[in-house]
Structure 1
């Protein structure tokens, strides 16, 4: 293996491997990774410069023998990354992930926060100004943001969610301030990133983001935050609530929509989700399946035995995410009215 290849980290070699095998094969690999792994790998791919034949051959020899004959890749990493993620995740999810990769590739402080435990992050940011906290939560995943928010003082939560809902284009100076705060707390050195933070504003937050974070909160915390927001701004509270979507809301989706949704979700998620659903929700799903499929699903549910509530909630959230994506694409109507969410 060449000296240059020897100096590469494991994630560098993984990035080169995916760029060498082509979008179709790479997408199959990526679809089996966790979101955090995909994001970390994507950040590295988006930052890679020219890749020589020597570097490709040296770094991939330990992975696959056939790569010895591979020539220079000859593709722009940004274009390749987009093609690979679209093939693996679909247009909407790929766009969201690419946006996150672009931001996180420029702000090491935020990238460090992404790997922190929610309790540690809550302790780190609880004394900051609510606007700074809102910015931080808008840059991390909805699930992580929900956990962090639930660990912050109750009197702060509604203020933070309202600020997230009203975020749109984040001014570059706000991003710089955010990076400064994170650098101060984590003692990271991000001076080489500062010149990259002087460009145009970034789209962060908004009502949809606030609603997604609210969905990740424990039910009792969510209800309390919504009530506090309602006291401050009833219209905003209603708008956020309209954007929120939970598994039991699927009962209002018409039968044709349920049948379309069932083609998009895994049996494993469906079994887990229905273990914690109401009888009416179970009936709604089962009546939209063939008799044979419904019998198999019941058998799978019986064989599953007791399951953790957290596993049920995760499965329900994945199904809701699929329903939300279909609604965004105009393939599903959520609710009984004429409005699309």
Structure 2
């Protein structure tokens, strides 16, 4: 999928149920003509993929930790070093904050943790303060990102682009991305429709003939095609089904022509947010994707500047205080799954309250064994302590969210010990 497709995924990623309430509307941005006929068209010599566009399906991959290098390339390319805003334009950090909201919490967390403390402290308040992003503004911000990608490619050539992608996503995904740069015509027809909602597909095909609709449906996943067909009126539904049943071979040129027309229309179909954005919830989701130490440092920084905001964010996260208030029986059971070495690294950089909570939920003999392991392994690498802590907190957080763990002060219900 090209960057325009990525733009639409960015809107979707930023409109998750936990972070944003959406009112979906479709905004036409092109004058693409409907594919009214299945007659072949002359081949166009123009490539449909613009310079700087990358076709990808980011939701199917996990980003490699080495994304830092690519992040630096983009920030140095202009994301945080754009010229001073003209009079009447918003602050650059506010714009970056909106960009992070648009690309989704997973990618935002990866970018945020590689920025300087000064940049982070300026961006975070802007994220929490963001209430809405208008469709035109969102499009403009993502176009700026598109320009940065194009700038990087033009400045370094194909080889440089390959290296950046390898460092960001690993060799295999980099190869996949590069392979898709200029081969849109080789892609399976209508593949970009698989991620769209039935209502969106129906809107794209509303001006098309039923034979064209049948052609498109024949390339969709069966369930997706059925969902769209069910939304047609009775007459069209019957005709489309008959066309599917009687479908014959269609020339590749005709398929390519229809695919191109529908694809152009899909690029103009943007799912946008017109309702409020809960900036604090967005930031909380971003922080959840970061390591525990960074999360806590950012919370403390916010508390120093704005205690009320810090408390509101803390309510949305899982903190040391939550561990101290967690049900002992659950802690005991979970500690049995961990090795003595794991627990030694877990308590290695914690205060006495946390250590006491852990030791209280194990036998004296095991506590002694853990202390011995701690002594043997010190000095400990900070990153190793952070890693086991992140796993521990993540496990407890999910257990609480799933209703398996009781936390005093978090749950409204009262319990009898």
Structure 2 length as normaliser, TM-score? 0.44
Whether 2:190 is the aligned partner of 1:223: answer: no
What is the CA distance between 1:286 and its match in structure 2? 1.8
Q: Distance in 2 between matches of 1:113 and 1:278?
A: 29
What is the CA distance between 1:261 and its match in structure 2? 3.3
Q: Distance in 2 between matches of 1:138 and 1:339?
A: 28
What is the CA distance between 1:238 and its match in structure 2? 3.5
Query: Which residue does 1:32 correspond to in 2?
Result: none
1:285-322 per-position Cα deviation (integer Å, ceiling 9, x unaligned): 12212344333322222221201223222221221111
Whether 2:358 is the aligned partner of 1:282: answer: no
Q: May I ask how many residue pairs the two structures share in their alignment?
A: 230
Query: Equivalent residue of 1:332, what SS?
Result: coil
What are the equivalent positions in structure 2 for 1:21-32 lying under 5 Å apart? none
Residues 100 and 108 in structure 2, CA contact (< 8 A), matched pair in contact too: no
Kindly name which structure, 1 or 2, has the bigger radius of gyration based on alpha carbons.
2
Higher helix share: 1
1:76-126 per-position Cα deviation (integer Å, ceiling 9, x unaligned): xxxxxxxxxxxxxxxxxxxxxxxxxxx961589x97998243554554422
> Unaligned stretches of 5+ in structure 2?
2-54, 83-91, 154-180, 185-191, 193-262
> Unaligned stretches of 5+ in structure 1?
1-42, 44-102
Whether 2:67 is the aligned partner of 1:115: answer: yes
Deviates more, 1:196-205 or 1:328-337: 196-205
What are the equivalent positions in structure 2 for 1:1-341 lying under 5 Å apart? 105=57, 115-117=67-69, 119-123=72-76, 124-126=78-80, 127=82, 128=92, 129-130=95-96, 131-136=98-103, 138-140=105-107, 142=109, 144-148=111-115, 150=117, 152=119, 154-163=121-130, 177=140, 179-187=142-150, 198=269, 200=271, 206=282, 208-212=284-288, 217=294, 219-228=296-305, 234=308, 237-247=310-320, 249-263=322-336, 265=338, 267-339=340-412
What is the CA distance between 1:143 and its match in structure 2? 5.7
Aligned alpha-carbon RMSD (Å): 4.5
